[in-house]
Amino acid sequence: MSDRRILIAACGTHFIQDGLVALQYVLLPILAQVFGLNYAQVGFLRAVSKSAMALLEIPAGVLSERFGEIRLLVFGLLCASLGYLGVALASDFYLIVFGFLVAGSGAAFQHSLASALIANHFDDVERRRSLGRFSQRRRER
């Protein structure tokens, strides 16, 4: 796979996954209003998502050694998408919790895998430049 495709896959996945996670800040007050959730329930939703993400990041790295980073990046995006689709279709609090659990699990398949993809593909000099390329372009804007 070309250098450009590797960077697009890693940066694109990072952009989409972080965007979906940031979407929670908009989604949580809406869910609270529609379903009449209290602060504890809203906090629990956030904790479920973040906990799933934190608990699965290391296992995602281990799984990538067997299945490959790109396959698991796609799997993570699919899980996150299905989780948020589940939240959109949820009819009660427990289905929302399940949707946030699935979405948080999918988000775990991003940071470590995208970094590993770049680290394994580029040599030492290019690796440093490639890992910093996305953040550098962002600062120039």
| pLDDT value for 132 | 57
The CA-based angle 97-101-105, given to 5 degrees, is 170
* Domain range 3-140, its CATH number among 3.10.180.10, 3.90.226.10, 1.20.1250.20, 3.30.9.10: 1.20.1250.20
Structure-block tokens of residue 72: 């698991």
| pLDDT value for 105 | 95
At 43-64, the pLDDT tens digits run: 999 999 999 999 999 999 889 8
Report, as ranges of residue numbers, the positions in the chain whose pLDDT lies below 50: 134-141
Q: From CA 89, how far away is CA 92, in angstroms rounded?
A: 9
| HEC readout, the chain | CCHHHHHHHHHHHHHHHHHHHHHHHHHHHHHHHHHCCCHHHHHHHHHHHHHHHHHHHHHHHHHHHHHCHHHHHHHHHHHHHHHHHHHHHCCCHHHHHHHHHHHHHHHCCCHHHHHHHHHHHCCHHHHHHHHHHHHHHHHHC
Q: From CA 125, how far away is CA 130, in angstroms rounded?
A: 9
